[in-house]
Amino acid sequence: MRKVILFFGAFVLLMSFKTLNNSDKAMFSNWFTLVQIDTLFQDKISIRAIIVDKNKIWYGADNSRFGYYDLDKKEKFEDHIYRDTLKLEFRSIAQNSNNIFLLSVSNPALLYQVSKKTQKVKLVYKEVNPKVFYDSMQFWNDKEGIAIGDPTEDTFSIIVTRDGGETWTKLLSDKLPTNAEGEAAFAASNTNIVIKGNDTWLVSGGKKARVFYSPDKAKTWKVCETPIVQGKTMTGIFTADFYDAKHGFIAGGDYELPNKKTDNKAFTKDGGKTWELIGQGMGFGYASCVQYVPGGNGKEIICVGSEGIQYSQNGGENWTQLSTDSKLFTIRFVNRNTAIAAGHNKVIRLRFK
């Protein structure tokens, strides 16, 4: 495996901060200053959806492919799901105890259940509509899950399962908030949905950049405005994460202006009711995926996107570039110091130190 080590000195890191309070000083010795990158595998492949299942990293990809990489055995398993002559693209992935779920993006939308034990594949949902385009999928628990797609009418397309993924039902539009004209979602990294307990947040982009919140696993919804750049087809929120039920972070920007570093990052301290811009002119432009660092007290964030791998130690106010690799689409943590990232033609492991 190819290894790359990038080092940033403590002096550079210290210079990026305005002030340090006592808690910041206590955490300083644990802040990341370098990253070691191991390439797990390379191929002609596009991967925007990954999930950590113990020692296995499952992925959904283009050209009808899915599979996993076994971190212990250092082996890759890959298979295809053939459906007539269709070339499926899986940008949504989720799991419960026994199965992996893969959802293709466009018409027809096809949702497959894959046995973790046998890798047997079963179609559990199909939707045919010229406007269908699914963006993200998550599970609340072993029985209940949700997927979000672009509007086919005047609301988000939302499907849910209450029986462990065996059957999926599309929620009626009259039970959902109305989307603005030109408001949809982006299938950038399977992070349009964030779940903490029963709380659920969906994020939008396009002509509007808003956060849709449900406190009861998709039974009722409220909509919150954000200051993220919006108004054009390729602007808005591309990715979100919550550290807990109160503290969250959204990012995105303008896909057509990937180096524009303003109005593209915001945080909440009240569960998504209000959002405040942060890091204006700092760090990255277009963001494909953000994730809170486990054990980082809601202060440490990793981003992948147009500016490579970016790291913040203070909730998104300042950023340090740990890698210039701009070909990564999505990232998930295995533990505090280890993450898996995937994107254009590869899956890599990152060891933060």
Q: Mean pLDDT across the stretch 10-30?
A: 45
Task: Write the pLDDT tens digit of every residue in 223-248.
Answer: 999 999 999 999 999 999 999 999 99
**pLDDT score for 30:** 85
**pLDDT score for 300:** 98
**pLDDT score for 29:** 57
3-state secondary structure of 190: coil
Q: Is the pLDDT of residue 52 over 80?
A: yes
The secondary structure of residue 324, as a DSSP letter, is: -
Give the global pTM.
Answer: 0.91
> Among 77, 199, 82, which residue's Cα sits nearest to residue 138?
199
Task: Write the pLDDT tens digit of every residue in 188-209.
Answer: 999 999 999 999 999 999 999 9
Q: How does residue 303 score in pLDDT terms, banded at 50, 70 and 90?
A: very high
Q: Mean pLDDT across the stretch 7-35?
A: 53
Q: How many CB atoms lie within 10 A of CB 205?
A: 30
The secondary structure of residue 293, as a DSSP letter, is: P
Q: What are the start-end ranges of the H helices in 252-336?
A: none
What superfamily does domain 3-13+42-352 belong to in CATH?
A: YVTN repeat-like/Quinoprotein amine dehydrogenase (2.130.10.10)
Domain ranges of the chain: 3-13+42-352
